[in-house]
Amino acid sequence: MKTGCFKYYTGDMGVAICIYPPIDWQGLRFPTLAPPNHLFFAAKQGKVDNLAYERIYYAEVLYKLDAQEIYDRLKDNVLLCWEKPENFCHRFLVSKWIKDELGIEVPEWNIKDEKVEKLIKDKNIKPLF
């Protein structure tokens, strides 16, 4: 499991975890991890800061879910939404939640990951770890 941004992700294992994926999105969707509409719009309008957003997102979304179940279901995917990696985003809260609940790091995807995975697949190389 990794997280990523629609703008940069180029692989085929993406899963949209936002309210509104790109209009031409043909990949998987997992709206269970999307922020509630009221929170999304409050954040876009500047009515909640990051701390309040985190508190509400945990209370209304993450605390109602089983981290192990979510991880098992999405462990081979890249969780995608719109924000650039340098901006606050709910995907980072999902990553933090998985780390806190399961002790599993969920890093941000980058193009090097995809190139290594493609090389391993194309050359039928088995990872050492």
Tens of pLDDT along the chain (129 residues)?
A: 999 999 999 888 999 999 999 999 999 999 999 999 999 999 999 999 999 999 999 999 999 999 999 999 999 999 999 998 889 999 999 999 999 999 999 999 987 766 656 555 566 655 555
Predicted model pTM: 0.85
> Residue 94 sits in which domain range?
2-123
The residues that bridge with 4 in the sheet, in sequence order, are 80
What is the residue whose two structure tokens read 């697949």?
Answer: 121
Q: How many domains is the chain built from?
A: 1
Answer yes or no: is 129 within a domain: no
Answer yes or no: is 40 within a domain: yes
Answer yes or no: is 26 within a domain: yes
Answer yes or no: is 114 within a domain: yes
Answer yes or no: is 115 within a domain: yes
Reference 5, options 119, 121, 100, 95; nearest CA is 95
Answer yes or no: is 101 within a domain: yes
CA distance 36 to 104: 25
Answer yes or no: is 65 within a domain: yes
Assign 78 to helix, strand or coil.
strand
Question: Any idea what DSSP says for residue 5?
Answer: E
